[in-house]
Structure 1
């Protein structure tokens, strides 16, 4: 019998009518009555568990499916790899748990995990939407943000525009995240990039008034004075006044081209290609290296687009495999006079050293979470090193050029040659340093602001720095000047100036202008490293074996693969009807 309405008098009437003997058998407040109530609750629990346990088990297998899919996609695996992964898992389970007490249950549970190709696609889409929701919440709550964007072509010749965002929050914490991956269906002109970005920002209701800066590569479609996407954005009244920077890593790569020395690199690449371009010669050369117990088992290829490989190519060529290369070339009857030229060998050594220093700078500029201060510091340090190197070379000291030093130690005649070419090397160093000075003038203008934010208690011309901050970040110069004076005389803040989270201790209402400048600096990108890195992931995901991958599935896969957010698995599981695998 059921009670229509759970009111007190209804329940009491039901009890006195249908359970007359209950009070006599189980007196109120007695231990017997308490035990009976416990038994009835336990029976009800068992009855309910008959239905809840399968549901819970189904939810667990669905969550396992989401977690496994996330693992596969972050490792850039295909959708169909889920089935292979599950089959391998089942083989392991049947082998390991076949004699265990609960082995059958374990194997049965694993077999219910949904990892089919179509299921994996739905899981990736669901996780991408969940990660997008988390991003949109952060974009709405952040104080300021900057974006970096770059365009590339995937393996099916579709143009893809990658956009990353860096957000700063009230506690001065920052997040870097993929904002979107936009396909450009036809042309990739500046107006096309502008329209794609503007449409996305409007559609997603991104607060444009919080935009601080945009960082791009140096392509005309990006930074063209009249037709570039940046020019279109700056001419759009919906966009605020924002800063724009050409990727510092790209600029460094352009600066490196002034070193020249094609008379060294061209023959080296030609010799390497002559060995590696023909399969038979390549096999014979590797056998020769093995017979001679060479330090390395093969030569490295070099291409212009992968210019970071230059230093390793040169180092392997001269300092590890030169004798083997000469012997191999002689065995074919070719001329090796260049490889024994006492004027060419020092040039090879110098180019090896200088490319090594450029590579080291490039690696310092790469990576996630790099701040403006980190990048400006690295570039300034390199320019200072160039000055020192030039002074040393003029004094005929090669302390910072180990490859040149090695050549001079091994070859007495090379010392005479070095005396003749030392001025040429010094000129290359000076030219490289001057190119850095010319290229990075936009960062030189930003440097005083970044330096002050990094150390607000340094002695500066207050009026001057206040004008620079106000001009750079659209602030009131008078208010900023007063805030700087007050800040530098705040004894409490002075006592905590060395703490890494210093700006979290500053009252954002009292020092509104200075804190705004600090937040904007914290939000800024100086390179397109995240875009370049994500393009590598994109090309791995959409390879020549997956050319039919749609733009939407590519976007979802890239987001799941590169996102710093963790999918909300509980929310994902509860939002769908859980079913076991077929």
Structure 2
């Protein structure tokens, strides 16, 4: 068979183009597919949708649109994209872990089921204490407790806030009591911050002195309410056995996961 020299040179270059190291086309395409899977999984959890929407709606729509706009060859690359419910859940768990590693403020930290073996307040207290211990968080830096107003949370004798008072340094007890004083909350709206803390000194001398050095606003129920609303949306009747902690962290956190780093840490494999 008579073949020209350029023909054989082209054949010689083909294995080099398809080499499997980090510079090869296979690896680059596999990384792009993995990154796309993370991005779409993040979109699904941020919109609080079921995992199955990836495989039943998102991927079919991508395939059809790509085929129409870019042709069958480009659509074949989309076909390699994995968006099964198990893949989406795995990607959400990865992103949740990545977000948790970041230094975050006023963010979702954790959620857990109540065992009902103790009083509701004590059960919540045990969950919070376990989390603080596991994550090596300093309880001494706790400066406020915000709850939804239920007796189990704010009861004067057995509420979570009252349980917490006995667990934190003594100098912060005044602040926790003050944040549940409705009369002072009204004063806080009407007076300047400086005048408010001067007036509060009669009942709360220690915390007022500290506040006058570094002004501290009242805690807000907004994050509690938004988290509870998100949980009701994610954990619907058809998904009532779902463990929602990773989903809530991704859905609520203003800290975004570093998808590039997650992709580079994965051994990318072609999906089937």
Length-normalised TM-score, structure 1: 0.39
Q: Does the CA contact (< 8 Å) of 2:152 and 2:160 recur in 1?
A: yes
Distance of aligned partners of 1:86 and 1:471 in 2 relative to their CA distance in 1, 3 Å threshold: same
Q: Deviations over 1:277-313 (max 9, x none)?
A: xxxxxxxxxxxxxxxxxxxxxxxxxxxxxxxxxxxxx
Q: Residue 83 of structure 2 aligns with which residue?
A: 115
Q: Residue 50 of structure 1 aligns with which residue?
A: 19
Q: Residue 533 of structure 1 aligns with which residue?
A: 226
- Distance in 1 (CA, whole Å) between partners of 2:209 and 2:17 is 64
Q: Residue 149 of structure 1 aligns with which residue?
A: none
SS of 2:219 mapped into structure 1: coil
Q: Residue 182 of structure 2 aligns with which residue?
A: 440
How many pairs were matched up?
A: 253
- Distance in 2 (CA, whole Å) between partners of 1:220 and 1:72 is 35
Distance of aligned partners of 1:241 and 1:220 in 2 relative to their CA distance in 1, 3 Å threshold: same
For residue 87 of structure 1, report the CA deviation from its aligned partner: 1.6
For residue 446 of structure 1, report the CA deviation from its aligned partner: 4.7
| Larger RCO (alpha carbons 8 Å, 6+ apart) | 2
Length-normalised TM-score, structure 2: 0.80
Q: Residue 228 of structure 1 aligns with which residue?
A: 159
- Distance in 2 (CA, whole Å) between partners of 1:212 and 1:235 is 14
- Distance in 1 (CA, whole Å) between partners of 2:114 and 2:138 is 23
Q: Deviations over 1:543-568 (max 9, x none)?
A: 1121232x3xx111111111111110
Greater C-alpha radius of gyration: 1
For residue 217 of structure 1, report the CA deviation from its aligned partner: 2.7
- Distance in 1 (CA, whole Å) between partners of 2:152 and 2:239 is 29
- Answering whether residue 60 of structure 2 is matched by residue 87 of structure 1, we say yes
- 1:18-97 counterparts in 2 under 5 A? 47=16, 50-51=19-20, 52-84=24-56, 85-97=58-70
For residue 238 of structure 1, report the CA deviation from its aligned partner: 5.7
- 1:139-154 counterparts in 2 under 5 A? none
For residue 245 of structure 1, report the CA deviation from its aligned partner: 6.9
Q: Alignment partner for residue 557 of structure 1, among 215, 224, 247?
A: 247
- Answering whether residue 193 of structure 2 is matched by residue 451 of structure 1, we say yes
Q: Specify which structure has the higher proportion of strand.
A: 1
Q: Does the CA contact (< 8 Å) of 1:215 and 1:244 recur in 2?
A: no
For residue 475 of structure 1, report the CA deviation from its aligned partner: 2.9
Distance of aligned partners of 1:247 and 1:225 in 2 relative to their CA distance in 1, 3 Å threshold: closer
Distance of aligned partners of 1:125 and 1:473 in 2 relative to their CA distance in 1, 3 Å threshold: farther
For residue 81 of structure 1, report the CA deviation from its aligned partner: 1.3
- The unaligned stretches of length 5 or more in structure 2 are 1-11
SS of 1:184 mapped into structure 2: coil
Q: Alignment partner for residue 112 of structure 2, among 141, 166, 182?
A: 182
Q: Residue 475 of structure 1 aligns with which residue?
A: 210
- Distance in 1 (CA, whole Å) between partners of 2:29 and 2:250 is 26
For residue 447 of structure 1, report the CA deviation from its aligned partner: 5.7
Distance of aligned partners of 1:49 and 1:543 in 2 relative to their CA distance in 1, 3 Å threshold: same
Q: Does the CA contact (< 8 Å) of 1:211 and 1:240 recur in 2?
A: no
- Distance in 1 (CA, whole Å) between partners of 2:241 and 2:149 is 31
Distance of aligned partners of 1:538 and 1:196 in 2 relative to their CA distance in 1, 3 Å threshold: same
